[in-house]
Structure 1
Amino acid sequence: MILFATPIWASELTHAIDNLEGEWAKVYYQNDESLQRKAYPALIDKAAELGKRFPRAAEPKIWQATIIATNAEFQSSLDALASLRTAKGLLEEAIALQPEALDGAAYVTLGTLYYMAPGWPISFGDNQLAEQMLKASLKINPNGIDANYFYADYLLQQDRSAEAEEYLRKAVQAPLRKNQYFADSQLQNEAKLALTNTQQRKSNTGKNKFQAIFTTATYSAD
């Protein structure tokens, strides 16, 4: 029985994580905010319950953190900051348990939180730690769409567009995972758009100031 328990446990966990990811992606990549407000709390509860069933697994913690962080958009400022701290703690626990889980997704998400969250004294935002986490994810999964896209996004935030272009190209060329096809295809579309906009901004060098401002404003609106 012990010999068969681990494969069955792993299969059950994988199936549950795939379902949770699929549900989250359908909610995240659509424009109905009222639906998102209703759906995220239920998904957070579902991820928490999965964490209770598999307390030594990193994957439920990663997804619980991801959903908590995306739900923060719909919370008050104080509640959102508390949610980001909760997500950060879950990701740190996941890394301590299994840093390579989900191809280093905990590093990707934690790195993203570090560069998106406000800095001290408001919150824990830290660009240097963000880069460390995102580079750690790339060591684990150098050709992954998530790792390349979010490191590129970080570089764009730091006005390092020449470096970002390399990673956006990798994200555009990354193979789409069968079990995450919808989410990967959506993220790859975002990578293509970001790459196009980065190239357009580069071509604007030397053009008049108002043309450059217009291009930047269009990029921000997208």
Structure 2
Amino acid sequence: MRTTMKYALVHLRTVMAAVLLTSGAAPLAAAPAASPSQFESEVLAVANDWARVKYLSKSDGERKQSMDEVGARADALAQKYPDRPEALIWDGIVTSERASLTWGMTALDLASRARDVLLKAVRMDPKAYDAGALTSLGVLYYRVPGFPFGWGDKEKARTYLETAVRYAPNGRDAHYFYADFLYEQGEYRKAEAVLKEGLSSPAHPERPIWDAYFPKVMQGLLAKVRERERS
């Protein structure tokens, strides 16, 4: 049993993106209203730093340390704008990424924090940021082990990801992660169709690193899907 539990907890390193947060701290008063451009620039700064660390770090050690630093800024952003779903979504995404870079109970704790903050964002606006909260929740639910080692749930994952694609027909993330889920379930033909839709989505020049690297990630998954279809 100990060996099985250890394996399941280590498996938490695969938790992605968003793909959620319960700090236990007293709720903060809402920040004074910021101009749209100020708020958007703060969110975009976190998004671009996440992409820089994720795709351009030279080692896992560097990636983990730098992502923890981005995580502190994402936490602060969510505390500053507790009523803005976009801020909560990015806090959830970065927290999920931090979970994927560690293991054991630390990974489970981070994944659980990410889940909780993303659930708050969904309650505010499930369509915000190309259904980013729904997408990241779906990723967490299919990457985290199920009972008794975690709270993962494949059926919940499917529901979240299907809803994300419906709410964000031009969302690259929603399409990629839904296709990744379908690939893991052996639904290769459907996964290919979903990936093709995602690859035709508009570019995001305001996020240059993500815009350059994520289509390559999608193409890589498409190649794996097609290989399985041929086999």
The answer to whether the superposition gives a TM-score over 0.5 is yes
Whichever of the two has the greater Rg, that structure is 1
Aligned partner of 2:52 in structure 1 is 26
2:72 to 20, 45, 63: 45
Q: Report if aligned partners of 1:99, 1:106 keep a CA contact under 8 Å in 2.
A: yes
Cα deviation 1:67-126 (Å, max 9, x = unaligned): 111111333301111111110000001111222211110000000000111011211111
Aligned partner of 1:15 in structure 2 is 41
Bigger Cα displacement from structure 2, 174-183 vs 85-94: 174-183
Aligned partner of 2:145 in structure 1 is 118
2:93 to 52, 66, 89: 66
1:143 to 144, 147, 170: 170
Aligned partner of 1:192 in structure 2 is 219
RMSD: 1.6
Task: Tell me the SS of whatever aligns to 1:56.
Answer: coil
Aligned partner of 1:207 in structure 2 is none
Aligned partner of 2:118 in structure 1 is 91
Aligned partner of 1:107 in structure 2 is 134
Q: Which runs of 5+ in 1 are unaligned?
A: 205-222
Give the TM-score of the pair, scaled to structure 2: 0.81
2:201 to 151, 154, 174: 174
> Which ranges of 4 or more aligned residues in structure 1 deviate by more than 6 Å?
none
1:61 Cα offset (Å): 1.3
Q: Report if aligned partners of 2:122, 2:133 keep a CA contact under 8 Å in 1.
A: yes
Bigger Cα displacement from structure 2, 179-188 vs 19-28: 179-188
The CA distance in 2 between the partners of 1:93 and 1:12, in whole Å, is: 23
Task: Tell me the SS of whatever aligns to 1:179.
Answer: coil
Q: Which residue type is aligned with residue 41 of structure 2?
A: H
Q: Which residue type is aligned with residue 60 of structure 1?
A: A
Q: Report if aligned partners of 2:205, 2:211 keep a CA contact under 8 Å in 1.
A: no
Aligned partner of 2:3 in structure 1 is none
Aligned partner of 1:217 in structure 2 is none
Identity %: 26
Aligned residues: 199
Bigger helix fraction: 1
